[in-house]
Amino acid sequence: DVQLVESGGGSVQAGGSLRVSCAASGSTHMRYCMAWFRQAPGKEREGIAGLDIDGTSTVADAVEGRFTISQDKAKNTLYLEMNNLKPEDRGMYYCATERISAGYCWMHIKEGTEFGFWGRGTQVTVS
């Protein structure tokens, strides 16, 4: 199993930046697809970024050019760097992971595949 703990959320003004982190523990030696999801009040959860086991990173069109997903393998930590934040970026941000074959990580994120391991989320507010 893998345990995930997010941190780094907060409140910023539009145009500002935040970096949220996801610390992983447990079976981190296994090869997993890593993802960031978010859920705004009254809206469905959406996948916004994925990091495949082959190192390929993908972000959703809505955050392209503003958000970057990355990881520090030595620290077993996943990051989401968010720049030029907009009010529509507000919501609860979750990291999640699942064992998905290389090359299919983003496809599963967009198709809504149920990931098996989730953090509790960190709140991002943009005003």
pLDDT higher than 80, residue 43: yes
Mean pLDDT of the chain: 94
Q: Which helix (H) or strand (E) holds 105?
A: helix 105-111
Q: What does the alpha-carbon distance between residue 53 and residue 15 come to, in Å, rounded to a whole number?
A: 31
Q: Is 17 within 8 Å of 82 (Cβ atoms)?
A: yes
Tens digit of each residue's pLDDT (9 = 90 or more) over 9-40: 999 999 999 999 999 998 766 678 999 999 99
pLDDT at 86: 97
Amino acid at site 83: N
Interior CA angle at 125 toward 83 and 96, to 5°? 75
Q: Which helix (H) or strand (E) holds 39?
A: strand 33-39
